[in-house]
Amino acid sequence: MVTLKELTHRKDRLTGGHRLCAGCAASIIMRQVMLATEDEVVIGNATGCLEVATTIFPYTAWDTSWIHNAFENVAATVSGVETAYRVLKRRGKVKKDKPVKFIAVGGDGGTYDIGLQSLSGAMERGHDMLYICYDNEAYMNTGIQRSSSTPRGADTTTSPAGEVIPGKQQLQKDLTAIMAAHHIPYVAQTAPHRWRDLMTKVQKALSIEGPTFMNVFAPCHRGWRMKEDQALEICRIAADTCFWPLYEIEYGEWKLNYKPKEKKPITDFLKFQARFKHLFDGRHDELIAQIQEDVDRGWTRLLKLCGEDG
């Protein structure tokens, strides 16, 4: 298990000085990911906030091997690098005692939507790689447009809340369950406020031979319209309302990693963010009730899959 004392002796491989927004959860997540392993790591980074803000030419915040590619193909790129490495090692052209790990990283736009075909193919083919999605629930880098991860009722630039339509009308995609349906060895959902949970899952994913996937909650204060220092607090609320449960699926076995002592109402999560403020103007009580029903249904289903009592 990862300890804070141990981490103080590890080198930070996502350095300070990058240009992500103050309080951005993506940088917190990737610092935790990189600290979770001392192995050599090759990072593939899809176009998005993390990519553009950490590698503004001619600078880079990455102290590791790093590849940028298009929005849609980071999983294909990393699967190719992983394959090339295995071939070169088999031919004796690469001789390393220490293992090399391969990680593909994308936001929800480049994972849930544009990169889903590439991701699905890489997982199905069985490449020895970890894919990490930092899920901030919209296309934040290009102007806060809705993605298929955007929650029902959220106000974005392409699902604006108005007199007729109160924000996004559709329920968000359950990508973690979709990845579990690929029958890969390891799938996990986590959030950076529980750093030990996140880092332990990274270590477990990288220790398993074959394709693994992690979906990580990544609040965006700019898109969610909240204070810069509230990312970890909203993560806690998301877990306590069961909007974003923490769980893992190892070789088909579902395991719940966190069960709140008292399940909080979804309004605790919604009121925290101005992207939902229109829901509280007195006209959308039915929609709030629908969102609560969505969360309750998902939580009940997850408890059953994990063999937990309600």
**DSSP assignment string, 147-201:** -TTSPTT--BTTB-B-SS-BS--SPPP-HHHHHHTTT-SEEEEE-TTSHHHHHHH
- Of how many residues is the chain composed? 310
Task: Classify each residue of 8-46 as buried b or exposed e, where b means 16 or more C-beta atoms within 10 Å of its C-beta.
Answer: eeeeebbeeebebbebbbbbbbbbbbbbbbeeebbbbbb
Give dist(CA 217, CA 219) in Å, integer: 6
Domain locations along the chain: 4-305
Give how far Cα 20 sits from Cα of 68, 72, 157, 165, 220, Å: 16, 21, 21, 32, 11
For residue 310, pLDDT over 70 is answered with no
Instruction: Return the pLDDT at 120.
Output: 98
Reduce the DSSP state of residue 213 to 3 states and report it.
Answer: strand
pLDDT for 103 beyond 90 = yes
Asked if 224 and 273 touch (Cβ cutoff 8 Å), the reply is yes
Burial zone of 146 (CB within 10 Å; 0-12 exposed, 13-18 middle, 19+ buried): buried
Distance CA 108, CA 174 (A): 11
Who contacts 252 (Cβ-Cβ below 8 Å, separation ≥6)?
Answer: 183
SS (H, E, C) 96-136: CCCCEEEEEEEEHHHHHHCCHHHHHHHHHHCCCCEEEEEEC
Query: Stretch 21-39: mean pLDDT, rounded?
Result: 95
Give the pair of three-digit tokens for residue 64.
């590791």
Check residue 226 and report its DSSP letter.
-
Above 70 in pLDDT, residue 9?
yes
pLDDT at 168 over 70: yes
The mean predicted confidence, pLDDT, of the chain is 96
Q: Rounded to the nearest 10 degrees, how much is the dihedral formed by the CA atoms of 127, 133, 139, 140?
A: -130
Please tell me the distance from the alpha carbon of residue 131 to that of residue 214, in angstroms, as a whole number: 6
Per-residue pLDDT tens digits for 177-197: 999 999 999 999 999 999 999
Round to whole Å and give the CA distance between 49 and 53.
6
205, 183, 197: which is closest to 247 by C-alpha?
A: 197
pTM confidence score? 0.97
Which pLDDT score is estimated for 116?
A: 98
Q: What's the CA gap between 115 and 103, in Å, rounded? A: 15
Cα–Cα distance measured from residue 37 to residue 202, given in angstroms and rounded to the nearest whole number: 8
What is the fold, at CATH topology level, of the domain defined by 4-305?
Rossmann fold (3.40.50)
Edge-to-edge strands, sheet with 65-68 = 65-68, 40-45, 100-107, 130-135, 212-217, 186-190, 247-250, 253-256
Residue 17 pLDDT level (bands cut at 50, 70, 90): confident
pLDDT at 97 over 80: no
What's residue 249's pLDDT?
98
Identify the CA nearest to 214 among candidates 206, 224, 222: 206
194 vs 246: CA distance, rounded Å: 9
Separation CA 181–CA 163 (nearest Å): 39
Mean pLDDT of 124-140: 98
Confidence of residue 309 (pLDDT cuts 50, 70, 90): confident
